[in-house]
Amino acid sequence: MAVIMCVCFLIIWLPYSVLSICFAYIPAFDVHPVQSAIPTVLAKISHVINPV
C-alpha cells in the first residue's frame, strides 16, 4: 500500500515540479497553455488521491 501511495505521489507531483524548475531556470522556456495546465490540474487533484 505504501508503494502505491509513493508511486501516485510521484506521478502527480513530478510533472509539476519539473515544469516549475524549467520555468525558473530556462529563461526562453515556452510551453503551450494546455501543456502547462495538465501538471497543475494533476497537482490539484492530489488531495483526492492522497488518503492522508
Query: What are the extents of the domains in the chain?
Result: 2-49
Tell me the three state secondary structure of residue 32: coil
- For the chain, the straight-line distance linking the first and the last C-alpha, in angstroms and rounded, comes to 13
Q: Which residues contact 9 (CB under 8 A, 6 or more apart)?
A: 46, 50
For residue 20, the Cα-to-chain-centroid distance in whole angstroms is: 9
Quick check: 31 and 19 in contact, CB under 8 A? yes
**pLDDT for residue 52:** 66
pLDDT digits (tens, 9 = 90+) for 6-52: 898 899 899 999 999 999 999 888 889 888 899 989 888 888 877 66
